[in-house]
Structure 1
Amino acid sequence: MTTPPTGGASRATPPPTTTEEASTGQLISQLTEQVSRLVRDEARLAQAEMTQKAKRLGTGAGLFGGAGLFGFLGLCVLVATFVLLLDLVLPAWLAALIVAVVLFAAAGVLALVGKKDVQKGTPPVPTEAIASTKADIATVRESARR
Structure 2
Amino acid sequence: MSGRAFGSIMGEFFDQAKRLIRAELTLAKTELRQELTKFKAGGVMLGLGGALLFIGGIAFMLFACYVLALVMPFWLAAFIVAVGFLGIGAGIAYLGVRRMKELHAPNKTIQTLKEDGQWATRTFQSMKSQMQGHA
Give me the TM-score of the superposition, normalised by structure 1: 0.40
Specify which structure has the bigger relative contact order, considering alpha-carbon pairs within 8 angstroms and separated by 6 or more residues. 2
Higher share of residues assigned helix: 2
Give me the TM-score of the superposition, normalised by structure 2: 0.43
Q: Rg bigger for which structure? A: 1
